[in-house]
Structure 1
Amino acid sequence: MPYTYLPVAFFQNRFIPFTDAKISIATHALHYGTAAFGGLRGIIDPQNSQQVLLFRLDRHAARLSQSARFLHYDLPAEKIQASIVEFVRHNRPTKSFYIRPLVYTSDLGIAPRLHEVEKDCLIYGIELGDYLPADGVRCRISSWCRQEDRSLPLRGKISGAYITSSLAKTEAVASGFDEAILLTAQGKVSEATGMNIFIVRNGQLIAPDVCQDVLEGITRDSVLTIARDLGIPVAERPVDKSELYAAEEVFLSGTAAKITPVKQIESYELPSERPIANRLRSMLAAIVEDREPAYRNWVDRVPLT
């Protein structure tokens, strides 16, 4: 997929042209997956073209700071947040975009370790519309299992963990599907390749609980909060594979994916009526666009002038 990159990157603690932000082929993180990343969307304020809206910037910064700690890197959330705001101001975007901050072991070396290794943080961005088809995706159950938290810290977005997502995504596309659903080593539903998953059964919104090796997604948390506020019954619990086929609705959530309905899993067609997913998607869009006063604290406003 060709991307249009924002012109300015934050690299080695300064803002420089994106095309000048380069790392060595000997960079430690490149060889060992010793990095962690975040991702958040920004949009031009529909009411003010000279202002950018960022969705839940504080939560994204806090999670990246937590991920950095897994790499033995002390990077305060406040510093991440301030750098992202300045990044937006330097780029002055004119279209919806996606911000990718990355913390990584920037040292050059061949020893797989986290001690006595230099670390750094970079930020770049791309213009981004819909990541997945808005009308829904077709999913298969992956032959690859989601990793377990006892093998790596799944409460962080550790870059090395995404080899499993990459294998599962390619396997799904190669077999005629759009996306993959990963099960845990115990056979319970975990998540998709870069998204959390929800099902609806008997009018209840159900999410695999955090003990199913899921990433603690910020959009996931937002969906659960909105659903409770709207009076939709909510449960977080283990989900069996067969429940996917029996569900009234299935949808994926994530920063890039937003809320994307699932229209087929394996050979099972899912109902085309999705009242709960549609209601949540409409509400989330209104919040992101700063049209819901009750959720104004979820939106950061960055003036470009």
Structure 2
Amino acid sequence: MYSFLPIAFFKNEFVPFEEARISIATHALHYGTGAFGGLRGIPDPQNPKQILLFRLDRHCQRLSQSAKFLHYDLPAQKIEETIVTFVKKNQPNKSFYIRPFVYTSDLGIAPRVHNIEKDFFVYGLELGDYLSADGVNCRISSWYRQEDRSFPLRGKISAAYITSSLAKTEAVESGFDEAILMNSQGKVCEASGMNIFLVRNGQLITPGFDQDILEGITRDSIVKIAKDLGIETIERSVDKSELFIADEVFLSGTAAKITPVNRIENYQLPETRPLTEKLKEKLTAITENRDPNYQNWVYAISLDG
């Protein structure tokens, strides 16, 4: 069971979480005409009366961009201000996850995004590790990632996650923890809700934006960190067979953070993961505001005022 934060932002006001309810006739519920974001917050290890949010500005910018696909003009600044107030009102004292969501809120049956009401809500829940920190076992999904020519993959659109849901369930019901999806060209794309990286011969490799991946914010952070650390980083297409002979493979995402992959199908990966561990330690230090070189990635919210 999830432990939800007590206050939500709904219909342009802050209300108890239990009172934030939508109608069964809500347009987005029927057609997937919504877009969401997700970001983590943690109590500052050095100051428990302060909350740290990782790359708040980038998360708000991406959700604002996603809203444009719904013909919804929602400025990133409004999203940011709402989230900051949301955190102050909830006064969280444990690691948590924030879910902002934009959607067509009208009650109607015509599939469209024009001439229809839109709205925006925010809620949160306590969240520790989304996947096992010790690593996961993955299978190659029988489901394929959508193509950008038929779906706006530069947005985090809710309808896209039917594929992720089918792939995740297929993986778990066949004895694995997570799924790896291929794109329509048969190249490695991403996991059910995470980007994917592999290490070969000291190089960090990840599918590029031309591979129909989500523009992950944690992915972007890892690429920047790796380059700053002098790790050769390559964004390109990746063949399935490369995963089986990789030195290291890991998944990345807001919920998953950096999660190592132990096994893919029946191919066991090496137990030693020097680059994965190095990047994971660095990212943890940054999110806890212990690295002065990345303090602009961390937004601190005082719970006292």
TM-score, normalising length: structure 2: 0.99
Q: Which runs of 5+ in 2 are unaligned?
A: none
Aligned residues: 304
Q: Over aligned residues, Cα RMSD in angstroms?
A: 0.3
> Following TM superposition, by how much is the alpha carbon of 1:277 offset from its aligned partner in structure 2, in angstroms?
0.4
- 2:86 equivalent in structure 1: 87
In the alignment, the residues of structure 1 paired with residue 151 and residue 235 of structure 2 have an alpha-carbon distance, to the nearest angstrom, of 23
- 2:134 equivalent in structure 1: 135
User: Residue 50 of structure 1 aligns to a residue in which SS?
Assistant: strand
> Following TM superposition, by how much is the alpha carbon of 1:189 offset from its aligned partner in structure 2, in angstroms?
0.3
> Following TM superposition, by how much is the alpha carbon of 1:14 offset from its aligned partner in structure 2, in angstroms?
0.3
In the alignment, the residues of structure 1 paired with residue 162 and residue 148 of structure 2 have an alpha-carbon distance, to the nearest angstrom, of 15
> Following TM superposition, by how much is the alpha carbon of 1:157 offset from its aligned partner in structure 2, in angstroms?
0.5
In the alignment, the residues of structure 1 paired with residue 298 and residue 94 of structure 2 have an alpha-carbon distance, to the nearest angstrom, of 17
Matched, 1:36 2:26: no
In the alignment, the residues of structure 2 paired with residue 93 and residue 174 of structure 1 have an alpha-carbon distance, to the nearest angstrom, of 35
Matched, 1:282 2:274: no
- 2:244 equivalent in structure 1: 245
In the alignment, the residues of structure 2 paired with residue 186 and residue 301 of structure 1 have an alpha-carbon distance, to the nearest angstrom, of 43
Task: Give 1:91-110 correspondences, 5 Å limit.
Answer: 91-110=90-109
> Following TM superposition, by how much is the alpha carbon of 1:225 offset from its aligned partner in structure 2, in angstroms?
0.3
Task: Give 1:206-245 correspondences, 5 Å limit.
Answer: 206-245=205-244
> Following TM superposition, by how much is the alpha carbon of 1:161 offset from its aligned partner in structure 2, in angstroms?
0.4
> Following TM superposition, by how much is the alpha carbon of 1:116 offset from its aligned partner in structure 2, in angstroms?
0.7
Matched, 1:7 2:15: no
- 2:296 equivalent in structure 1: 297
TM-score, normalising length: structure 1: 0.99
User: Residue 24 of structure 1 aligns to a residue in which SS?
Assistant: coil
- 1:69 equivalent in structure 2: 68
Q: Which contiguous aligned blocks of 4+ residues in structure 1 show a shift greater than 2 angstroms?
A: none
In the alignment, the residues of structure 1 paired with residue 111 and residue 249 of structure 2 have an alpha-carbon distance, to the nearest angstrom, of 40
Matched, 1:261 2:257: no
In the alignment, the residues of structure 2 paired with residue 228 and residue 163 of structure 1 have an alpha-carbon distance, to the nearest angstrom, of 34
- 1:161 equivalent in structure 2: 160
- 1:195 equivalent in structure 2: 194
> Following TM superposition, by how much is the alpha carbon of 1:120 offset from its aligned partner in structure 2, in angstroms?
0.3
Matched, 1:177 2:157: no
Q: Deviation digits for residues 235-266 of structure 1, max 9, x if unmatched? A: 00000000000100000000000000000000
In the alignment, the residues of structure 2 paired with residue 174 and residue 222 of structure 1 have an alpha-carbon distance, to the nearest angstrom, of 32
> Following TM superposition, by how much is the alpha carbon of 1:226 offset from its aligned partner in structure 2, in angstroms?
0.3
What amino acid maps onto 1:266 in structure 2? E
Percent identity of the aligned residues?
71
In the alignment, the residues of structure 2 paired with residue 82 and residue 242 of structure 1 have an alpha-carbon distance, to the nearest angstrom, of 46
What amino acid maps onto 1:184 in structure 2? N
> Following TM superposition, by how much is the alpha carbon of 1:208 offset from its aligned partner in structure 2, in angstroms?
0.3
> Following TM superposition, by how much is the alpha carbon of 1:12 offset from its aligned partner in structure 2, in angstroms?
0.4
